[in-house]
Amino acid sequence: MPTIAIVGAGPGLGLSMAKVFGRNGFSVALVARTKKKLDSLAAELSESGIEAAGFAADVMDRPSLAAAFARIKERFGGIDVLEYSPASHNPEGGAEDHVGSATMTTPLNATAENIQPQLDYYLYGGIAAAQQVLSEMIDRDAGTLLFTTGGSSLDPLAGPPEFGNIAIATAALRAWVLKLNQVLDGTGVYAAHVPIFAWIGSGGPETQADTIAQRYWDIYTKREGAEHPYDIR
| Structural domain count, the chain | 1
Q: How far is 220 from 83, CA to CA, in rounded Å?
A: 11
Q: Is the pLDDT of residue 20 over 90?
A: yes
Q: What is the pLDDT of residues 174-184, one digit of tens each?
A: 999 999 999 99
The pair phi, psi for residue 11, each rounded to 5°, is -75, 0
pLDDT of residue 230: 95
CA distances from 184 to 76, 116, 177, 221 (A): 25, 28, 10, 17
pLDDT of residue 51: 97
- As a whole number, mean pLDDT of residues 97-107 equals 55
Q: How far is 226 from 7, CA to CA, in rounded Å?
A: 20
Q: What is the pLDDT of residues 115-167, one digit of tens each?
A: 999 999 999 999 999 999 999 999 999 999 999 999 999 999 888 888 889 99
Give the domain range for residue 176.
3-231
pLDDT of residue 155: 93
Q: What is the pLDDT of residues 1-17, one digit of tens each?
A: 999 999 999 999 999 99
Q: Which CATH number do you get for residue 7?
A: 3.40.50.720
Q: Is the pLDDT of residue 94 over 70?
A: no
Q: Is the pLDDT of residue 84 over 90?
A: yes
Positive or negative: CA dihedral 107, 112, 117, 121: positive
Average pLDDT, the chain: 91
pLDDT of residue 43: 97
* One-letter amino acid of 25: G
Confidence of residue 88 (pLDDT cuts 50, 70, 90): low
- As a whole number, mean pLDDT of residues 186-203 equals 93
Confidence of residue 100 (pLDDT cuts 50, 70, 90): very low
